[in-house]
């Protein structure tokens, strides 16, 4: 069974962190309606939802992906790169504790979950403005005994590794090669975003379905042309907070 952890949009979302885009007004109600439809899509794709209530004082807390990395054998609670986001991790750790043994990124390490991309036993970790080498070394030390190989990958021009590259099938990645070096992913099938849609590389694979932003129709066609099943979702209001489809959930397998 797949479990999807989500958290309702904070009323403070207007004070979110922004790195690569300029501030625009975010309409809370629209963001919440879109977020609920996103949650419904996850449920319809077979996930059991675990919905956390909104955090009044934590603007970016809807982006639960950044608080943890959940693998089959364990979970790593991050230490987010933006100081304003550090208190987000505690409720996520409490929620994950019954499901997984927990490890933690320690100071001076900083890491956002959005910088960690897993494909099988290979883990790519983005070196970004949020994630540093200390944290990647800590992640490697935690994961190596479980048979994972951790590769550090430089990210440039975007917020997180998963802004630049995500998995859309078992061995297929969707990528914006302007933001990450294709060479780092040798051996993988690569689908490139349409050049007119640089933000189109963030896709969420749920089972065999790619949950994908409605805004990027050209890249969506590229995915469908490769035989992939795509379901669209409109997260345009949260995109104003620099969030995408992977950021709004933590999805993991749970066997009772
Ligand atoms: C931030 O800057 O931290 C938030 N405004 C956006 C985080 C998006 N998270 C993600 O891509 N994993």
Q: Please state the domain extents for the chain.
A: 2-253
Ligand 1 environment, Cβ below 6 A: 16-17, 19, 60, 63, 65-66, 82, 85, 114, 159-160, 241-244, 246-247
The set of long-range contacts for 221-227, using a CB threshold of 8 Å and a minimum separation of 24, is 222/191, 222/192, 222/193, 222/194, 223/168, 223/174, 223/191, 226/172, 226/191
- Which class would CATH give 2-253? alpha beta
Query: What is the atom index within ligand 1 of the atom nearest the CA of 159?
Result: 11
Measured in Å, residue 82 CA sits from the centre of ligand 1 at: 10
Measured in Å, residue 256 CA sits from the centre of ligand 1 at: 32
Q: What is the DSSP string of 142-191?
A: HHGGGT-EEEEEE--SSSSHHHHEEEEETTEEEE-TTTS-GGGGTTSEEE
Question: Is this model's pTM higher than 0.95 or not?
Answer: yes
Measured in Å, residue 197 CA sits from the centre of ligand 1 at: 19
Q: Which residues contact 123 (CB under 8 A, 6 or more apart)?
A: 116, 117, 139, 143, 148, 149, 150, 151
Query: What is the atom index within ligand 1 of the atom nearest the CA of 80?
Result: 3
pLDDT of residue 255: 83
- 40: part of which helix (H) or strand (E)? helix 28-44
Query: What is the atom index within ligand 1 of the atom nearest the CA of 115?
Result: 12
pLDDT of residue 123: 98
- 33: part of which helix (H) or strand (E)? helix 28-44
Could you tell which of 69, 80, 114, 130 is best to mutate to test the pocket of ligand 1, judged by most ligand atoms within 8 Å of the CB? 114
Question: Could you tell me which residues are beta bridge partners of residue 212?
Answer: 232
Rounded to whole angstroms, how far apart are CA atoms 50 and 256? 16
Contact assessment for residue 230 and residue 223, using Cβ atoms and an 8 Å cutoff: yes
Q: Which residues of 222-240 are buried (b: 16+ CB within 10 A; e: fewer)?
A: bbeeeebebebbebebbbb
pLDDT of residue 64: 98
- What averages of pLDDT result for each successive group of 10 residues across the chain (256 residues)? 98 98 98 98 98 98 98 98 98 98 98 98 98 98 98 98 98 98 96 98 98 98 98 98 98 90
């Amino acid at each position: 069974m797949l479990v999807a952890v989500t958290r309702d949009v904070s009323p403070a979302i207007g004070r979110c962190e922004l790195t690569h885009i300029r501030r625009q007004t975010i309409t809370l109600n629209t963001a919440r309606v879109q977020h609920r439809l996103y949650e419904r899509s996850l449920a319809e794709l077979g996930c059991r939802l675990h919905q956390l209530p909104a955090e009044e004082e934590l603007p970016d807390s809807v982006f639960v992906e950044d608080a943890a990395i959940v693998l089959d054998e364990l979970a790593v609670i991050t230490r987010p790169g933006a100081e304003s986001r550090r208190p987000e991790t505690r409720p996520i750790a409490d929620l994950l504790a019954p499901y997984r043994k927990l490890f933690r990124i320690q100071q001076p390490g900083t890491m956002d979950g959005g910088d960690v991309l897993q494909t099988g036993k290979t883990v790519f970790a983005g070196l970004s403005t949020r994630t540093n080498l200390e944290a990647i070394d800590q992640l490697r030390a935690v994961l190596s005994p479980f048979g994972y190989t951790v590769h550090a990958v430089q990210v440039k021009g975007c917020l997180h590794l998963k802004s630049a590259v995500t998995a859309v099938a078992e061995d297929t990645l969707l990528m914006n090669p302007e933001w990450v070096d294709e060479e780092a992913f040798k051996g993988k099938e690569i689908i490139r975003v349409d050049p007119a849609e640089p933000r189109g590389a963030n896709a969420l694979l749920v089972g065999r379905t790619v949950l994908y932003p409605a805004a990027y129709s050209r890249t969506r066609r590229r995915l469908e042309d490769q035989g992939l099943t795509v379901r669209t979702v409109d997260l345009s209001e949260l995109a104003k907070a620099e969030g995408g489809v992977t950021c709004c959930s933590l999805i993991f397998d749970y066997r009772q």
